[in-house]
Amino acid sequence: MTKPNVDLDPERVPVIVGVGQINDRPEDPEDGLDSLGLMAAALHVADDDAGGVRRGGGPGWLDSIDSLAVVFQISWPQENDMAVALAERLEVAPAHTFTTPTASGDGPIRLLNEAANRIGEGVSKICAVVGAEALRSAAYFTRKAAAEGRASDYKSIAEVAASRATPLRRRYGLLAPIDVYPLYENATRAAWGQTLAQAQAETGEIWSRFAEVAAGNDGAWIRRGATAEQIVTPGPDNRPLAHPYTKLMVANSSVNQGAGFIVTSLAEARRRGVAEDRLVYVGRGAAAMETLDPLERDRYDRSTSMTLSLTRALDLNGIDAGGAAAALDHVELYSCFPCVPKMARRVIGWPEDRPATVFGGLTFGGGPIGNYMSHAVVEMAERLRERRGGEAGEAGAQAALSPGMGLLFANGGIATKNHAIVLSNAPIASAAFPQDFDIQAEAEAVRDPVPPLAETAPGPARLETWTVFYDRQGAPRHGVVVAISDEGGARTLAKVPAEDAATLAFLTDGAAEPVGSRGVIEPGPDGDQIWRRAG
């Protein structure tokens, strides 16, 4: 931890003063809240957490917000600008309202960084950030409408994903995140020299600790815990989805969850009487992204934008990436699919036997599409407050000043958007705002050349990465291979038909490493390409 910079103007130092989250699980699904209701409820909890009228003696924080930023939601598409609708629901009139353009997992951290910038610029005094998804309610009311012969505006996650996929991806079934993330999983495993069993064991270790954190967290959605063996073993309640992922390894979006937080200046927090041990200081952040189309990435065994967003965020806050595990008390490494926290933990040297979450991960904590990281902000703030209070209770007043730091790493799209930021229970010397957190130019400068993409490339080719899709009974539907053609080095796609049991076994049984293996691409029915393993 670097020493506080006494020259920083308290009016320009951003701090989190209130956090709130809500789980909505009514006995009667008719009583389920919509996204707007969840957002309002979460911000009211954050207002209470910040003290409201009780601690400051004046109006509540929400009554005074001049900035309201909302994470886009998909549950209730009839709501267009959620920030404006929420302001009306809260009966407030902030000068600045903003809704992110998409429901992307990096959204909450981007909005936190932007709120810190607004405080640092002096254009805002009190900022509220919030998001929610009511997919559980939306699904119920959609089924009800269908049973009654009525139309519904709601579109499933699969429908939304399919609408955004390119024709080439649609042809081969690479539609939703669950279809594409295994390409990274299989490529990284091979690059790290792991066997399939070793890679699955790592996933089981990390995910079982997520389950353990969630079991002790009132805000988590699934609190029953799960062992590593339960997570990696396919079965009726843990069916395989896309190799090597099972249901217990992926984000659980069937939730009604909302979370939000209130950011203000250090000076305003003190004016309103917020106790010092309740303040959470916002550190600097860094963001970069990959190309939107996963087939136009430079490689699948790492993410340049992820690596740089993490290392730059640490560096900007005075933390050496090589010593991050010692410097950080807590981390939240985004966990929509195992390859993401696996890649991230290697960048910062975070051990697999140490929890990579404060909330419980997107499987067990809950996966409310773009708003998961708002829940992580809530939990990180609470953990950093506890570090002060808990140590003070055990070791006296001096321990109350014990510093604590936490890293929040968010990922959005399909391993596309990356945003990392640091929070602390003490001032960070380098955390002057406003800051330019966009490091895209740095990422572009060091990214490898991207192979040309070819819809057809018959002939010999090298397998770059792959996955296999399963039906609801656990039987293979077909495999998809990403290959590099010998002629011209083009990247192309090919299927492995369900009836080619030998090749599917080669891909999935773990006896040999498929990545880098040789094969031949042949024309198939309906214009598809087929992968035939050499030899």
Q: Is the pLDDT of residue 203 over 70?
A: yes
Give phi and psi for 141, each to the nearest 5: -70, -25
pLDDT the model gives residue 5 = 46
Provide the 3-class DSSP secondary structure of residue 90.
Answer: helix
Provide the CA 142 distance to its chain's centre, in angstroms: 26
Segment 150-171, tens digit of pLDDT: 887 777 777 777 788 899 999 9
SS (H, E, C) 279-337: CEEEEEEEEEECCCCHHHCCCCCCCHHHHHHHHHHHHHCCCCHHHHHHHCCEEEECCCC
Q: Hey, is 7 helix, strand or coil? A: coil
Coil, helix or strand for 105? coil
Inter-residue contact 297 to 170 (CB < 8 Å): no
Q: CA-to-CA distance for 228 and 196, rounded, in angstroms?
A: 15
For residue 389, name the pLDDT band (cuts at 50, 70, 90).
low
Confidence category of residue 141, pLDDT binned at 50, 70, 90: confident
Please work out, in degrees rounded to the nearest 5, the angle formed at the alpha carbon of residue 115 by the alpha carbons of 390 and 285: 70
Whether residue 106 has pLDDT greater than 50: yes
Task: Check whether 52 has a pLDDT greater than 80.
Answer: no
Query: pLDDT-based confidence at 2, cuts 50/70/90?
Result: very low
Is residue 395 predicted with pLDDT exceeding 60? no
Residue 440 pLDDT greater than 70, yes or no = yes
User: In the CATH hierarchy, which fold is given to the domain comprising 10-137+253-446?
Assistant: Peroxisomal Thiolase; Chain A, domain 1 (3.40.47)
- Which value, to the nearest 10 degrees, does the dihedral of the CA atoms of residues 116, 105, 446, 294 take? -160
Average pLDDT over residues 291-314: 98
Residues 6 or more apart whose CB falls under 8 angstroms from that of 113 comprise 282, 285, 287, 419, 421, 435, 437
**Rounded CA separation 157/178 (Å):** 11
For residue 152, the model assigns a pLDDT of 78
| Rounded Cα gap, residues 446 and 427, in angstroms | 33
pLDDT digits (tens, 9 = 90+) for 347-370: 999 999 999 999 999 999 999 999
pLDDT of residue 86: 97
Residue 149 is predicted with a pLDDT of 86
CATH for 459-533, among 2.60.40, 3.30.1120, 1.10.3470, 2.40.50? Answer: 2.40.50
Same fold, 10-137+253-446 and 459-533: no
Residue 496 has pLDDT above 90, yes or no: yes
Give the residue-averaged pLDDT of 480-490: 97
Cis, peptide link before residue 427, omega less than 30° from 0: no
How many whole angstroms separate alpha carbon 71 and alpha carbon 515? 38
According to the model, what pLDDT value does residue 53 have? 53
**Residue 3: per-residue pLDDT:** 42
| 377 CB-near residues (< 8 Å, 6+ apart) | 16, 19, 108, 109, 112, 259, 261, 408, 423
Angstrom CA distances, 370 to 102, 196, 264, 411, 435, stand at 8, 30, 23, 9, 24
CB atoms within 10 A of CB 64: 18
Give tens-digit pLDDT for 53-98.
Answer: 544 445 689 999 999 999 999 998 866 689 999 999 999 999 999 9
Measured CA to CA, the distance from residue 115 to residue 523 in angstroms comes to: 53
Per residue in 325-351, pLDDT (tens digit) is 999 999 999 999 999 999 999 999 999
pLDDT digits (tens, 9 = 90+) for 306-318: 999 999 999 999 9
Identity of the residue numbered 293: D
Average pLDDT, the chain: 93
Which whole number is the average pLDDT over 317-324? Answer: 94
Domain boundaries, the chain: 10-137+253-446, 459-533
pLDDT of 402 reads: 63
What is the residue whose two structure tokens read 């070793």? Answer: 198
* Predicted TM-score (pTM) of this structure: 0.94
DSSP 481: E
CA atoms within 13 A on the CB side of 222: 20
- pLDDT tens, residue by residue, 204-219: 999 999 999 999 999 9
User: What tokens does 300 get?
Assistant: 């699948």
Per-residue pLDDT tens for 505-534?
999 999 999 999 999 999 998 889 999 999
